[in-house]
Copies of this chain bind each other. A is one copy, B any other.
């Protein structure tokens, strides 16, 4: 049977009439039950239950109450890194009775613009965003117009916004230092054809580590770029193995932009008969759930994904307070050494 479009939610007025009281009494029962006479309240509550009455959020919002909805605008919700981050956001917001409107931008600026517009129209409580590009103008305007914005995975850079992130330069440095200390001197950095600030900053960290070791990054580091978006990254990475193996002299280690890419590389190397870590070491990034379960277990850089999300939600909720001051929260990544890295063959 068709869902009759004629069904209309009952309004307070109807409840009031049914209970023989005025609308404001119904409103009181809902918002400040204590001030209503027990008997009246009982009658009203019964009417509410009986008619299946449900408050109308948009009308309340129109009266000036804050929306319980927060937008979360990220690169791709199906990417486990963001999925976990988003769970952090969700859980923290739930504690405050709020809900998450999650949007994936797939690295497309047009999509980002579109969802931001939609979110602002919905008059959400605020937006948590991992922005695609470096230009914060739109975000600043949104914030100025009254929709608070919290940046994720992008440094605050003195902007008039809150921000939460991980020290990406440090992350890159940790990974590189590990490989350098094992003796690797020919390292592939597997990035993407379109790179976000995160990946760029990590590469900078890698180069920094090399310079600090008295080595020349331009000699050691081989930049390879995978088409990351439409095609499944695992497969792109598996295919990228050809390029790695074509380099001469053969690299002895690969730093991957994330664990998913590392998974693909591991697979591709396996198919090509290259042993990890004996022939080539592989390092991932993110420390996703499957990383420890791979064979060999993946050495990777851990990011506090869930905590990042919680922190972002914290900051966003704090924006509602009158004494709120924008600030930045920065987490530290950490290296997780497992079995996919070892000294190079003849070091």
Q: Which residues of A contact B (CB under 8 A)?
A: 1-3, 5, 7-9, 52, 54-59, 61-62, 67-69, 76-78, 80, 83-84, 86-87, 90, 94, 97, 99-104, 111, 115, 117-123, 141, 143-146, 148, 160, 232, 234, 238, 260, 263-264, 266-267, 270, 289-290, 292-295, 297, 319-320, 322-326
- Given A122-B69, A234-B289, residue A87 in contact with residue B104 (CB < 8 A): yes
Instruction: Judge whether A326 and B295 touch: CB under 8 Å.
Output: no
CB neighbours (8 Å) of A52 from chain B are: 141, 144-145
- Most chain-B CB neighbours within 10 Å: which of A7, A54, A78, A146? A78
Q: Is the CB of A232 within 8 A of B289?
A: yes
CA distance A292 to B232 in the complex (A): 12
A146 is contacted by which of B8, B232, B270 (Cβ under 8 Å)? B8
Q: Quick one: given A3-B148, A97-B118, A260-B289, are A295 and B324 in contact (CB under 8 Å)? A: no
CB of A80 within 8 A of CB of B77, answer no
Q: Which of B101, B141, B292 contacts A267 (CB 8 A)?
A: B292
- Chain B residue nearest to A51 (CB atoms) is B145
Instruction: List chain B residues, Cβ under 8 A from A319.
Output: 3
Contacts of A119 in B (CB 8 A): 99
- CB pair B293–A295 under 8 Å, yes or no, is no
Q: How many copies does the complex hold?
A: 2
**A294 partner residues in chain B, CB cutoff 8 A:** 293-295
Does A57 contact B234, Cβ atoms closer than 8 Å? no
Ordered by A's residue number, 12 sampled pairs between the chains whose C-beta atoms are within 8 Å are A1-B160, A62-B62, A77-B102, A80-B83, A83-B83, A90-B102, A94-B111, A99-B122, A101-B101, A234-B290, A267-B293, A293-B294
Cross-chain contact A2 with B324 (CB below 8 angstroms): yes
Indicate whether A234 sits within 8 Å of B83 (C-beta atoms), given known contacts A62-B58, A90-B104, A322-B5: no
The residue in chain B whose Cβ has the minimal distance to the Cβ of A72 is B102
Given contacts A145-B7, A325-B2, contact A121 B78 (CB under 8 A): no
Say which residue of B58, B78, B118, B123 sits within 8 Å of A83 (CB atoms): B78
Interface pair A9/B145, CB less than 8 Å apart: yes
